[in-house]
Structure 1
Amino acid sequence: MQFQVPIHIKPLDTPITYRDKLLLMGSCFTEHIGNYLADMKFQVLQNPNGILFDPMGVCNSLVSYMENKQYTTGDLFQLNEAWHSWMHHSRFSHIDASEGLRIINASQQQAHTFLKQADWLIITLGSSFVYKLKESNRDVVNCHKAPAQTFNKHLSSIEEMVTALDGTLHRLFHFNPHVKVIFTISPVRHIRDGVVDNNRSKARLIEAVHHLVNKLDRLYYFPAYELVIDVLRDYRFFDIDMVHPNYPATQFVLEHFTASHLHKDTQALMEDMKSLVIARKHKPFHPTSQQHLAFLKKHLDKALLLQQTHPYLNLEEEIAYFRQ
């Protein structure tokens, strides 16, 4: 008997390899994919503005990277003893405005340089809802626990999202002619919007993304949302909040991403990377024992050989650790 709905994921025309640079943007589920790839030693840059949920936030952030926008004190506001940016996650907030600006602008510069060289941009969209400042009608990507009456909440139409994404992607392809884009929809339920409005929000995202994927070259869709909601389709695959996919569900999605989007040779090399990562995290009972020293030597030799065979890998941390 078959206990799951079958799903066919079309492999990429040009699969991802370790030589590629990958910029990931979007919701918290983006970071599941990004952390997985970073752990496996891919060349990854994640969310230079922090977590972003809606297409407008993603578009505005991408434009700022292409323009290498440098923020000033006029772009910050003070709330609850810290300085914040409406365009950044609270991890960029700081008690000292100048230090907050330094962190933000360093991330902007890094994103500008990385995006210019990126081979892949992976965008995970979480919601069609946009929050706008009442006083200026300006979009924000993070509310920073400001009072609810500070904002108007707007459910973007499919046309609004397609227009914003289409214009941004055309600018992106001019800025970086060889970059390719993978869209995913986050399977995380935005339950604060209510079940009905969450489904309306996700439906609009799906329709907008597929409109673009069918229209433009170099755009692809990975069905993370469908893998969790339609294939797994069970609350045992969610955390206790009934909203976020749990570890088995996330691993299920990542296994499908690996099988369909990564090159076969890269998948084989990932097994070597995995053994090094596990060895790097090993906590010995007796660090000075001959057994542990032999363990370090064995994995140092393996890391050095991999670095020599695949010079595009960055194994500096692992080599330094095993050399201790």
Structure 2
Amino acid sequence: MNFRLEFTPKTLAKPIRHEDKLFLIGSCFTEQIGQKLAHHKFRVIDNPNGILFNPVSIAASLSTYIAPKIYAEPDLFYHQELWGSWAHHTRFSHPDKQVALGRINESQQKAHRFLKEADWLMLTLGSAFVYEQSGAVVANCHKVPTDKFLKRLLSVEEVVDVLEKSLRETILLNPGLHCLVTISPVRHLRDGFVENNRSKATLILAVEELCRRMPQVFYFPAYELIIDDLRDYRFFAEDMVHPNYAATQYVWEKFRDTCFDKACIGLLDRIAEIVQAASHK
């Protein structure tokens, strides 16, 4: 008797080649897949602003890479003896504001150069909830008390509009760019069980509409592979929220088999063998 329904994603209409340059941005699940890609010697850049969860912050960060934006002292804030940016993860924060700005602007320049030449933009959306301060969405709360922010759930229309605008701007910079969107399977249970499902549903509906509007945009069902295919707490870490190694490996294998071209798939095992051999020297 079969106690599980396995799900095989559709083959990507435009397969990814090993020589392609991949720009990854989004939630912590982005970094897990990014590590797999880097291990197999793909040319990647991963989260130039650090981990980003909501579509508004992802879209805003993409827009800053186009020019690119140069951050200055007015873009920073001071909290708990650190200078940080509301648009960036805490890994950019530093007690010296010039060091913080240096880190941020160096990353901006690298992101700009890579984005101009990238073949693929891979977005992983984590949550449709946003935190606003003075009417502006922040990418990270930097351990500032939550009562200092207004929390709200984006509508499907808001998600579609903000991502479409940003993607169209990005494609003007790089007309050959294609975009692969995923929904993170990491459950944001601090929002609440019901609220997390509403958030994920908002993202799923928004991505469907985005793919309909833009032929350059494709969807990879990482969320469905974890939640509907594996569908078991043994595939989650001890926090019962993040997918564990086995789950991530399963998604990677499905991603490899449905999104890479045949030549690329043929290379991966050989590359893994060489990398493993080199690590044992």
Same-fold status (TM-score > 0.5): yes
Are residues 1:173 and 2:171 paired?
yes
Q: Determine if the alignment matches structure 1 residue 182 to structure 2 residue 180.
A: yes
Match of residue 55 from structure 1: 55
1:193-234 Cα deviation digits (max 9, x unpaired): 000000000000000001111221111100000000000000
User: Deviations 1:153-204 (Å, cap 9, x if unpaired)?
Assistant: 0110001111111111111121110000000000000010000000000000
State which of 197, 203, 206 in structure 2 corresponds to 1:205.
203
Q: Aligned partners of 1:180 and 1:120: how far apart in 2? A: 5
Aligned length: 281
Distance 1:32 1:260 in 2: 18
Pair 1:148-2:146 in alignment: yes
Q: Provide the rounded CA distance (Å) in 2 between the counterparts of 1:36 and 1:152.
A: 36
1:116-265 matched pairs, under 5 angstroms: 116-133=116-133, 136-265=134-263
Give the ranges of 4+ consecutive aligned residues of structure 1 lying more than 4 Å apart after TM superposition: none
Query: Which 10-residue stretch deviates more, 50-59 or 14-23?
Result: 14-23
State the match for 1:19 in structure 2. Answer: 19
- The code of the aligned residue for 1:140 comes to V
- Secondary structure of 2:45's aligned partner: strand
One-letter amino acid matched to 2:257: A
Distance in 2 separating the partners of 1:68 and 1:231:
41
Match of 1:77 in 2: 77
Which residues of structure 1 form unaligned runs of 5+? 283-295, 297-324
The 2-side partners of 1:93 and 1:67 are apart by 23
In structure 1, distance between residues paired with 2:13 and 2:145: 47
CA distance in 2, matches of 1:149, 1:7: 42
Quote the Cα distance in structure 1 between the aligned partners of 2:216 and 2:2: 35
Task: Please report the RMSD computed on the Cα atoms of aligned residues, expressed in angstroms.
Answer: 0.9
Query: Whole-Å Cα distance in 2 between the matches of residues 221 and 3 of structure 1?
Result: 27
User: What amino acid sits opposite 2:67 in the alignment?
Assistant: E
Secondary structure of the residue aligned to 2:84 is strand
Larger radius of gyration: 1
TM-score by length of 1: 0.85
Choose the corresponding residue for 1:279, options 273, 277, 280: 277
- Bigger shift: 143-152 or 8-17? 8-17
Give distance in 2, aligned partners of 1:276 and 1:90: 35
CA distances 1:41-91 after superposition (whole Å, capped 9, x unpaired): 000000000000010011000000012000001101111111000000001
Instruction: Give the share of equivalent positions with the same residue, in percent.
Output: 52
The alignment status of 1:44 with 2:40, answered yes or no, reads: no
CA contact (8 A) 2:8 2:254 kept: no
1:3 to partner: Cα distance: 2.6
- Contiguous gaps of at least 5 residues in structure 2: none
- The offset of 1:7, in angstroms, is 2.1
Higher relative contact order (CA 8 A, sep 6+): 2
Question: What CA distance in whole angstroms lies between the structure 2 residues aligned with 1:163 and 1:17?
Answer: 30
Output the amino acid matched with 1:222.
F
